[in-house]
Amino acid sequence: MPTTAETLAPSSSFSGKSLHQQVTEAIEDRALPISRLLRLMWALDAERSPANQNLRARLRARIGAPLGA
């Protein structure tokens, strides 16, 4: 089975939403587990769209942010 951004998207709380919407919500959600953030990063990397470059940078910053930030 080929791996796509759809198969990498985290669980049901994000079902039916575009990858862009999922990443935007994940960046704002400080309670989201790092595993879900990493899956979203993997999905963004799999797409390799120039339009996702800003999202990748924002998601990287969110993954590296301190817990209290």
pLDDT digits (tens, 9 = 90+) for 18-49: 999 999 999 999 899 999 999 999 999 898 88
Q: What are phi and psi of 9, to 5 degrees?
A: -65, 135
Task: Report d(CA 54, CA 36) in Å as an integer.
Answer: 19
Within-domain flag for 26? yes
Within-domain flag for 3? no
Within-domain flag for 42? yes
pLDDT at position 1, please? Answer: 43
Domain extent at residue 57? 18-64
- Please name the residue that has the structure tokens 């998601």: 59
Within-domain flag for 69? no
pLDDT at position 59, please? Answer: 93
Q: What are phi and psi of 56, to 5 degrees?
A: -60, -45
Task: Report d(CA 24, CA 4) in Å as an integer.
Answer: 19
Q: How many domains does the chain have?
A: 1
Burial 30-41 (b: 16+ CB within 10 A, else e): eebeeebbebbb
Percent of the chain past pLDDT 70, that is, above it, reads 72
Higher pLDDT, 52 or 39: 39
Within-domain flag for 37? yes
